[in-house]
């Protein structure tokens, strides 16, 4: 796998306040979440906004770790390992969170359709869709293999976004990988 490019910062965003690039494991995930929590605690903002930014950061980082193409684990580190870039920053009063990770190119059409559909929804439509998906997930929770939060990741991110989600896909590897970049202003 190739190295991930540095996250693009469209619109002249300032450098990130928090940044992780390279290997990401579940162990790194918890450290990254703790860093984000500490960073946001030091910021002056209403508690509800702080919570929304934090939960969006956690959801985006979780989605990267859970859905990215797995890297070859090292013999000394047999757990899930992905290459990813995750950043949190602010510019002009807005807080943004951005991720880049490798996905299976076969997933790109469905993923692109999902993100485009979410971008087209009005805030009240996003809230209603979130409630419906949450209810459906609750109904499936008792069935084998169904998790209680199934399908809520991108919907949660879009619901909490202050602007339409920014995203892109780029071919990355000869073996069918694509770089998926996602940016949300909260």
Q: Where are the beta strands (DSSP E) in the chain?
A: 18-24, 82-91, 94-104, 166-171, 177-185
Structural domain spans, the chain: 10-185
d(CA 134, CA 152): 7
The enclosing H or E element of 127 equals: helix 123-140
Per-residue pLDDT of 147-164, as tens digits, reads 444 568 899 999 999 999
Q: Are strands 18-24 and 82-91 parallel, antiparallel or unpaired?
A: antiparallel
* CATH of region 10-185: 3.30.565.10
User: Of 24, 4, 7, whose CA–CA distance to 16 is shortest?
Assistant: 7
Per-residue pLDDT of 8-23, as tens digits, reads 444 445 679 999 998 8
pLDDT band at 71 (very low <50, low <70, confident <90, very high): confident
């Amino acid at each position: 796998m190739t190295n991930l490019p540095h996250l693009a910062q469209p619109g002249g965003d300032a450098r990130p306040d928090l940044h992780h690039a390279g290997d990401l494991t579940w162990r790194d995930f918890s450290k990254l979440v703790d860093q984000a929590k500490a960073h946001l605690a030091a910021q002056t903002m209403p508690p509800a906004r702080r919570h929304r930014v934090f939960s969006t950061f956690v959801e985006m980082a979780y989605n990267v770790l859970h859905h990215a193409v797995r890297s070859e684990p090292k013999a000394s580190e047999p757990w899930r390992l992905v290459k990813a870039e995750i950043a949190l920053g602010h510019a002009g009063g807005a807080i943004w969170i951005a991720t880049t990770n490798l996905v299976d190119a076969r997933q790109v059409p469905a993923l692109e359709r999902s993100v485009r559909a979410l971008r087209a929804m009005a805030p009240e439509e996003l809230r209603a869709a979130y409630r419906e998906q949450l209810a459906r997930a609750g109904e499936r929770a008792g069935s084998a293999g169904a998790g209680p939060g199934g399908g809520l990741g991108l919907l949660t991110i879009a619901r909490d976004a202050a602007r339409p989600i920014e995203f892109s896909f780029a071919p990355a590897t000869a073996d069918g990988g694509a770089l998926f970049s996602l940016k949300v202003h909260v």
